[in-house]
Amino acid sequence: MTYPKFVVTDLETTGHASKGNDRIIQASFVVIENKQITGQYTSFFNPQMPIPMFIEELTGISDEMVKDAPLFHEAAKDILPLLDDAVFVAHNVAFDLQFLQAELERAGYSSFSGATIDTVELARIVWPMSDSYKLGELTGNLGLIHDRPHQADSDAYVTAEMLLMMIEKLESLPMVTLEKLEQLARRLKSDIYLLMKAIIETKQRNIEQLPEQIEVYRGLALRKKKIERRFVEKASLAYPETKEEKAALLSAVPQFELRNSQMDMMNLVYESLQISKHLAVEAGTGTGKSLGYLLPAVYRSKQEKEPVIVSTYTVILQQQLLQKEIRQLQKVLPFQIMAAVLKGRSHYIDLYKFTQSLKETSDNYDFVLAKMQILTWLLETEIGDVDEINLSSGGELFWNEIKQDGDYMNKGRKAWLDKDFYLHAKKQAKEADIVITNHSLLVADLAAKKSVFPPYTHVIIDEAHHFERAARDRLGVSIDQTGCKQLFGKVGTYEQKELFYQIEQLFVKYCLSEQEDERISINRKLQELQFESDEWFKVLQMYFDHHTKKRAGSSWHRRQLRLTSESRQLTYWDHVEYGAERIDLLIGELVVWMKQRLKKITEFREQMTASEQMKMDDFQEMIEEWQDFQLALEKIIFRPEEDEVIWMEGDSRSLSNTFVLKSHPMEVAKMIQEAILEKKHVIFTSATLTVNGSFQFFAAESGLSSFDHNEVILSSPFDFQKNCRMIIPNDVPNVKSVYHEEYIEALANHLTAVAEAAKGRMLVLFTSFDMMKRTHDLMKDSGLIDDYILLAQGITNGSRARLTRNFQRFDKAILFGTNSFWEGIDIPGKDLSCLVIVRLPFSPPDEPFTQAKNEQLTQIGKNAFSAYSLPQAVLRFKQGFGRLIRSSTDRGIIIVFDRRIQTNTYGKTFLRSIPDIPVKEASLSETVEMIEDWL
């Protein structure tokens, strides 16, 4: 079989409604025969309607350009021959095909009935580690020249080039992978299996030679893994003490700038590592914090022949440390560095479970696509970490079925031991000088009986302002409806043929007895459990809805309700307790039966097949999960403890998918003290640790205040006085003195004027999603800034990273964000010139944890506001402020709409906690004038 003829198509249209009034305004068809581009047909079409403004902005195609163009039906006779016997290819094929079919029908022709290939779907399989599958971003990463994005001829041509690159990549895959892909591809949305089939038939004509780095094990092609051994230096290594020595060493780092604060940090960290005295370092933006601790850490690790652990909060920083800073150091240091990343077990794939899943014939589209992505990913990954692969949300559900979990050793898993990614990560960590991990795993490890880390003395905690929160999250427990459904659905009833049915089959097979009465009784209890848990969540939600509705505004969706001794006296709570008691009783009875079953079958374990042993392991693991669920019920419902904060939360728009019960410890400082500060040497660092120049709040929250330690503030090397201005508008009403709608209207008017003065390039930070959504909608609907792109977290599709990338792509863009946008987004240069902070970021007083903390502080005679709420808000404000100036050449204006920063006495604490910059109160017209002059 030779390759089919492909016609790669792109259409530009007046909108999305192919069945409605929208029409094609430009079409391009690129013909590929025998893997060669042999021709391209492109034409504008007169849509007989005005082209909408946003389409003209996007495509650059105007009414003028199409006014003399043919109508589609006049050109159809030239287009149809191109499609004869061809595979129709497009990037998001369903969109282009439905428009083409609609136009063909209107022109009186029969619709296209051939095969189709979607290059979005194919790209997901071929490049599973790509950040984005948007055409512009894919082609940019591939180095394809795409001179006019959103014009059909340019889009179609690069899509054709990309298709040829994907075919080339597929041709290089091992036959065992291609055969599995071809079987799975029959369940995709487009006809990719035809392409796979052609490639397989072509490859079968030659003898296959596997690339050196690939091996085939038990029918699965994988990239070979090797443990990199630690390089032990024979001579003792002298740390570069002086500024000149450091400068000489680091001068080879690209774009290296000599920064005194970074040099100071290196010496502080090195001294702390030598004398093992705890240290807290606040390193302002631009200090070069990561290199500031990595250089001394590497020297100390080499000298002591023991790894230094570096813990971060975000995956982004982990990747940056490994791919940027460690690589930079490796190039300039006169010795080899070994760095490894170690994450929690569930980050890694279980290859045995994955191979078993390939035998299943589920038609779930997301699962099929995820399996195909993983098959190609396994040829590239050396670490098997889920963070590398771009799975859909449905694909993430599939990951839950094939991730690493327990330590149970069945025959099947034993066969994969040498290939296991989690064990490989642990072995590699033993050889590393620097082990990079995350706060969550570090906390879990401190609480565990046996450590997953190699022996270590020193730990550096970066993004340390999150450490206390991460510890609370990790040590807390939760119960959610989706998790509960999965938990009880996994065992299933006998009729559902899940785990209960499978274990019963094993029992009959090996114990040679069918206890039908017992089976019927257990089956009834399992049905009862599923029914009772569904009913219980209905009661919980009724209780939650009833007691949060009174406080909720009509558009306030995300609600929380703290469970206190008072709220446990309210209507419906007794129903909540009765339901939990019934579930607890049923689980208790079922667990006793499960353990008995397991005990009897375990005697025959050695006679079982690998997949039968895996079922037993799944059963064992499920018993433990059910017992954990009972403990969570105990903690949250039956015997709540005073030092725990317990609450419910959910989004009223989709309560069953978002509803969750949580319990967090009030204090983790004692645990941090006992588990880490007493046993290890710790360096805490972040850009935001101090309030008003003091570490007092951070030291108390993290348990550091009970130990002898050093504290240092290293200010940013950037010239904020010269490059930054703050404006506080004095003609916006006080939010408390007017109706909500009136305030939002005033805010939207100001932001519109500011956006025009700043030409977009503006990040607006909110503390409330509701206020953000209303402001965004009002500005969008006003028609005053139609030529601006408005991007908003939770409203515009896409992750935080994607929204940030899109913001940087457009000249006139405004980015709206809440919670997670206050930190961790990095937009250097002219892309961001104006930062707006709408309200000072205080946690709502009725937020469960804040409320409980405030009560606790009041009981011991402290002022809860100044001891907790204010420091929390200041640290968050500092994070937000840090988004604006990201390099020494950045210039920007920050506008704070919250007058309290000037009018309230505590406002000075916010201003004293950021670099000293000129602050001015101004009216709207003055603000606009200042922005235009300044930028």
Q: What is the CATH number of the domain that holds 65?
A: 3.30.420.10
411 and 315 fall within a common domain? no
Residue with the bigger pLDDT between 319 and 810: it is 319
Same domain membership, residue 363 and residue 272 = no
- pLDDT of 586 over the 90 cut: yes
Determine the residue type at 316: I
Digit-coded pLDDT (tens) for 735-785: 778 888 888 999 999 999 999 999 888 999 999 888 999 999 999 888 888
Tell me how far apart the alpha carbons of residues 34 and 14 are, in angstroms, rounded to a whole number: 34
pLDDT in tens, 451-504: 999 999 999 999 999 999 999 999 999 999 888 988 888 899 899 888 999 999
- Cα gap 64→67, rounded to integer Å: 5
Residues forming the annotated binding site for ATP?
A: 283-290
Q: Is the same domain home to 783 and 906?
A: yes
Distance of alpha carbon 241 from alpha carbon 270, whole angstroms: 9
pLDDT given for residue 555 in this prediction: 46
Report how far residue 83's alpha carbon sits from residue 482's, in angstroms, rounded to the nearest whole number: 47
User: Phi first, then psi: what are they for 546, rounded to 5°?
Assistant: -60, -40
Report pLDDT digits (tens) over 288-309: 999 999 999 999 999 999 999 9
* pLDDT tens by residue, 668-700: 999 999 999 999 999 999 999 999 999 999 999
Residue 246 lies in a domain: no
Residue at 787 is within a domain: yes
Please report the pLDDT score of residue 879 as a whole number: 93
* First-residue to last-residue Cα distance in the chain: 62
Residues in Cβ contact with 877 at an 8 Å cutoff, skipping those fewer than 6 apart:
837, 840, 841, 910, 913, 914
Burial of 663 (0-12, 13-18, 19+ CB in 10 A): buried
Q: Are 766 and 845 in a shared domain?
A: yes
Domain finish residue from 146, 180, 209: 209
What pLDDT was estimated at residue 690?
Answer: 96
User: Are 743 and 908 a contacting pair, CB within 8 Å?
Assistant: no
Does residue 366 sit in the same domain as residue 438?
A: no
Structure confidence by residue, pLDDT tens digits, 26-44: 999 999 999 999 999 999 9
Cβ contacts of residue 813 below 8 Å, gap of 6+?
760, 761, 762, 788, 789, 790, 791, 806, 807
Which of these, 544, 476, 567, lies nearest to 849 by C-alpha position?
A: 476
Residue 208, token pair as written in the block: 């296959």
Query: Is the alpha carbon torsion for 654, 655, 657, 661 positive or negative?
Result: positive
Range scoring the smallest mean pLDDT among 257-261, 346-350, 893-897 = 257-261
With pLDDT > 70 as the criterion, what percentage of the chain qualifies? 99
Q: How confident is the model at residue 553 (pLDDT cuts 50, 70, 90)?
A: very low
Separation in Å, CA 46 to CA 38, 64, 76, 375, 782 = 27, 10, 13, 46, 30
In-domain check, residue 254: no
Q: How many CB atoms lie within 10 A of CB 918?
A: 11
Residue 467 domain flag: yes
Residue 464 pLDDT = 96
d(CA 667, CA 575): 31
For residue 660, report the phi and psi dihedrals to the nearest 5 degrees: -150, 145
Pairing of strands 644-651, 660-665: antiparallel
Give yes or no: residues 356 and 333 share one domain. Answer: no
Q: What is the total count of domains within the chain? A: 5
Per-residue model confidence (pLDDT) at position 75 = 86
pLDDT of residue 463: 94
Partners of 762 in the beta sheet? 814, 834
- Its pTM stands at 0.88
- One domain, residues 374 and 429: no
Could you tell me which residues are annotated as the binding site? 283-290
The per-residue pLDDT for 408 is: 62
Residue 225 CA to residue 718 CA, distance in Å, equals 44
Distances (CA, A) of 153 to 39, 59, 122, 554: 12, 11, 21, 48
pLDDT of residue 458: 97
Q: What is the DSSP string of 45-65?
A: ---SSPPPHHHHHHH---HHH
How many CB atoms within 10 Å of residue 702? 26
Residues 185 and 277 in one domain: no
What is the largest distance, in Å, between two alpha-carbon atoms of the chain? 89
Q: With a cut of 90, say whether residue 802 has pLDDT above it.
A: no
Residues 646 and 747 in one domain: no
Residue 241 lies in a domain: no
Q: How far apart are CA 923 and CA 731, in angstroms?
A: 5
One domain for residues 825 and 781: yes
Report the SS3 class of residue 86.
strand
Average of pLDDT values for 722-733?
91
Buried b (16+ CB within 10 A) or exposed e, 385-395: bbeebbbeeeb
pLDDT tens readout for residues 699-713: 999 999 999 999 999
For residues 856 and 666, is the Cβ–Cβ distance under 8 A? yes
Average pLDDT, the chain: 90
For residues 320-337, give the mean pLDDT.
90
Last residue of a domain, one of 419, 434, 449: 419
**Res 490: pLDDT:** 86
pLDDT digits (tens, 9 = 90+) for 60-95: 888 888 888 898 888 888 888 999 899 999 999 999
Residue 315: which of 323, 307, 326 has the closest Cα? 323
Nearest to 395 by CA among 441, 344, 349: 349
Residue 585 within any structural domain of the chain? no
pLDDT at res. 827:
81
| Amino acid, single-letter form, for residue 155 | D
Residue 897's domain is classified under what CATH number? 3.40.50.300
Q: Where in the sequence is the domain holding 192, given as residue range(s)?
A: 5-209
Give the chain's radius of gyration (CA, Å).
31
Task: Read off the pLDDT of each residue in 842-864 and give the average, rounded to a whole number.
Answer: 92
In sequence order, the β-bridge partners of residue 30 are 8, 40
Q: How far is CA 398 from the centre of its chain?
A: 17
pLDDT of 554 above 60: no
Who wins on pLDDT, 254 or 10?
A: 10
Q: CA 144, 149, 153, 159: dihedral to nearest 10 degrees?
A: 40
| Amino acid 826: pLDDT | 78
In terms of Cβ atoms closer than 10 Å to its own Cβ (0-12, 13-18, 19+), residue 53 is exposed
Same domain, 845 and 884: yes
Tell me whether residue 251 is in a domain: no
3-state secondary structure 472-535: HHHHCEEEEHHHHHHHHHHHCCCCCCCHHHHHHHHHHHHHCCCCHHHHHHHHHHHHHHHHHHHH
Q: How confident is the model at residue 552 (pLDDT cuts 50, 70, 90)?
A: very low
Directed axis angle between helix 289-304 and helix 260-275, to 10°? 30
In a domain, 51, yes or no: yes
Per-residue pLDDT, 257 = 80
Do 90 and 31 belong to one domain?
Answer: yes
Beta-carbon contacts of residue 834 (< 8 Å; ≥ 6 apart): 754, 758, 761, 762, 763, 892, 893, 894, 895, 931, 935
